[in-house]
Amino acid sequence: KAEVPAPAATVVQAVSAPATAVVPAPEAATPPAARLPAAARVVAVGDVHGDLAAFRRALRTGGVLDASDRWIGAETVVVQTGDVLDRGDDEREIMELIARLEPAAASAGGRLIVLNGNHELMNAQLDLRYVTEGGAADWAVAGAAPRSPQGAQVPELLRGRAAAFEPGGPWARRLAGQNMVQVVGETVFLHGGLEPRWARQDPDGLNQAVQRWLRGDAPQPPEAAVAQDGPVWSRRFSEGEEGGMCAALEEALGAVGAKRMVVGHTVQRGGITSACGGRIWRIDTGMARFYGGPTEVLEIRGEEVQVLKASPE
C-alpha cells in the first residue's frame, strides 16, 4: 500500500454554492466520545476496501451479524478501523449496511463504531486515484456539480463522487459522524498509528478538527489528517520492532492512557500480528478481494485478546 498524503495543492476549498444532483447519503450519526468505558466484549475489524463480502465475513466471524444481515452481537462493541473506501466496487453498499447496523447495535446495548482511515480522508480531498470503475459508477449522477474548483476539474464519471465526498457534501457529512481516534476502555483504536506527538493531544480535539473540515466548516484539513506521521498515515508500529518502536509505543500509550493499540492500514500478509508484548495489534489482513488475504478479526475480553478466523467456505 504505497499511498502518500495528498499534496497541499489538492486540498478542497469549499464554496457557498450548494452541490446538486448528488446521491443522497444516510443521515450522519453523532460521533461517540473519543473515550468510551470498557466493554465486556470488543471486536476489531480491519480494512475492507470496498468488498462487501469480506465485510460480512468479518462481522460474522466476530459473531455480530447473521445470514440476513441483522445485528446479533447483543452488547458487543465493534470497532472498524477505517478504509471502507477505494479499491473495490461495493463501498456504497457497505456504508448503507453500516447505517442500518448502527441503530440496531445501539438498540441491543452494543455499538458499531467505524473510524475514518486515510482513504476516507483522501476521498474528501478529491484524491480519487484508487476509485474503481464500479466505485465511480455508484456515485455517477448526470449533472452532478461539485462545489469546489478542484471538483469541477475531475473526469465526468467522477464528478458525482466528488460532489458526494468533498467537504460539505452529503457523504463527507456522513464521514463527519466518524472518529479518527477511539479509546474503548484500555485500548486505543485507529487506522495508522498514534505516534507520541499526537498521543499527547486531546483525542476529542483531534477528531473534532477533522470533522469540522469534513462538514465544510474549515477551509482545509488539519495537519493530523495529512501528516505522514499522523493517525491515519503512520506505519511506525506496523512493521517489525526496530528503531526503538516499542519505546515509542510505550510513550504513546502512556500519553493516551491505554494498555494496547489496535491499528489497520498496513497489510499483514499472514494474518493479524502483534508485537511489543501484545501492546500493539495489527489487524489489516488484506481481507478485501483486491489483496486476497485471510478474513480475521480481533476479540478483546478484558485482558484476554485473541484472533478469530473465518471458517473455510
Q: Give φ, ψ of 77 to 5 degrees.
A: -100, 120
CA distance 132 to 141: 16
98 Cβ contact list (under 8 Å, min separation 6): 80, 84, 112, 114
155 Cβ contact list (under 8 Å, min separation 6): none
Contact 163, 17 (CB under 8 A): no
Q: What angle do CA 3, 226, 277 make, to 5 degrees?
A: 75
Which residues have a catalytic role annotated? Answer: 119
Contact 19, 146 (CB under 8 A): yes
Residue 206 CA: distances (Å) to CA of 24, 42, 81, 232? 27, 23, 16, 11
User: How many Cα atoms within 13 Å fall on the side-chain side of residue 199?
Assistant: 25
Strands (E), the chain: 35-36, 42-45, 77-80, 111-114, 181-184, 187-190, 260-263, 273-275, 280-282, 296-301, 304-309
Q: Name residue, grid cell 489482513.
A: 285
CA distance 74 to 67: 16
Three-state DSSP at 283 gives coil
Q: Give φ, ψ of 296 to 5 degrees.
A: -140, 150
Residues pairing with 45 in the sheet: 80
Residues pairing with 171 in the sheet: none
